[in-house]
Amino acid sequence: MLIQGTAGTSEEQLRYGWNYAELLSKGPSRNALVSSPLMRAMEQGKIARVEELTRIPADVQDTLITILSEKSLPIPELGLEAQAVRGFNVIATANNRDKGINELSSALKRRFNTVILPVPSSEAEEVSIVSKRVAEMGRALELPSEPPALKEVRRVVQIFRELRNGQTEDGKTKLKPSSGTLSTAEAISVINSGVALAAHFGDGVLRAGDIASSLVGAIVKDPVQDVVVWREYQETVMKERSEWKDLYRACRDLDE
């Protein structure tokens, strides 16, 4: 049972809403009530997943407090409450590196068991994750292209790691960090976009030109700060790596 959290998520989307035609004609009743995915999960003993919890406004987030602590959802208009049955649980996800997020209240934090998933510690581990997910998604989408070469995946992952950490992998060159998260998920998205371009507009083989446009979009979030960061990285790092000349030229062509 999925609830997609956004800045526009309302309290009704977490609790319940009303069929206003039924409400106006017959007044408040169980038939007029429209259950949210969370309410249905409670009644059916299923798991509710709140995606991007910290995107939801703080006052709406706190709607979850009673549900998590009492395992019940009051319906004061009807003088009733929905009771959770065995099997009900709530999983919420959030990215604390994102911009534009709303902090959870202390009361809500106490009601969650928090698990922090760190960025993969090594480049090899991150490359492995990206390669695996890209291959899985390629099969699911039935893309008529070859799996991306490990070299291309490694380049994207290395760029993300270096801009994320503010230095090159060998530690010899300091870099201005990007304002974006540059997460492993974004690396997967960049490679997936490149594979799709290669499949539908190329020869089915992922090349530097297929990656460049998605790469720029993932890195340049702030049109002022990140443009400077990205250009400096191209000139001081990419240009100096002989095996990256094709990617450097593809990125420069987009800039021009």
d(CA 72, CA 118): 33
d(CA 64, CA 73): 9
**Main-chain phi, psi angles of 57, to 5 degrees:** -55, 145
Specify burial of residue 121 (Cβ count, 10 A radius: 0-12, 13-18, 19+).
Answer: exposed
| Greater pLDDT, 146 or 77 | 77
Q: What does the block give as tokens for 25?
A: 């004609």
d(CA 64, CA 90): 9
Q: CA 100, 106, 109, 111 torsion: positive or negative?
A: negative
d(CA 121, CA 81): 46
pLDDT given for residue 90 in this prediction: 93
d(CA 250, CA 244): 10
Q: How many residues can be counted in the chain?
A: 256
- How many angstroms separate the Cα of 214 from the Cα of each of 8, 49, 135? 27, 29, 18
Tell me which of 133-147, 163-177, 183-197, 233-247 is least confident.
133-147
Q: Which CATH superfamily is domain 2-110 in?
A: P-loop containing nucleotide triphosphate hydrolases (3.40.50.300)
Helix (H/G/I), strand (E/B), else coil: 140? helix
Q: What does the block give as tokens for 113?
A: 């068991």
The H or E element containing residue 89 is strand 89-92
CA-wise closest residue to 255 among 148, 165, 239: 239
Q: What is the mean pLDDT of residues 56-64?
A: 90
Tell me if the pTM is above 0.75.
Answer: no
Tens of pLDDT, residue by residue over 101-117, are 788 888 998 999 988 88
Q: What is the mean pLDDT of residues 242-252?
A: 87
CA-wise closest residue to 16 among 48, 32, 39: 39
Q: What is the mean pLDDT of residues 224-232?
A: 85
Angle between helices 208-219 and 225-233 (to 10 degrees): 140
pLDDT given for residue 38 in this prediction: 93
Tens of pLDDT, residue by residue over 150-165, are 888 899 999 988 888 8
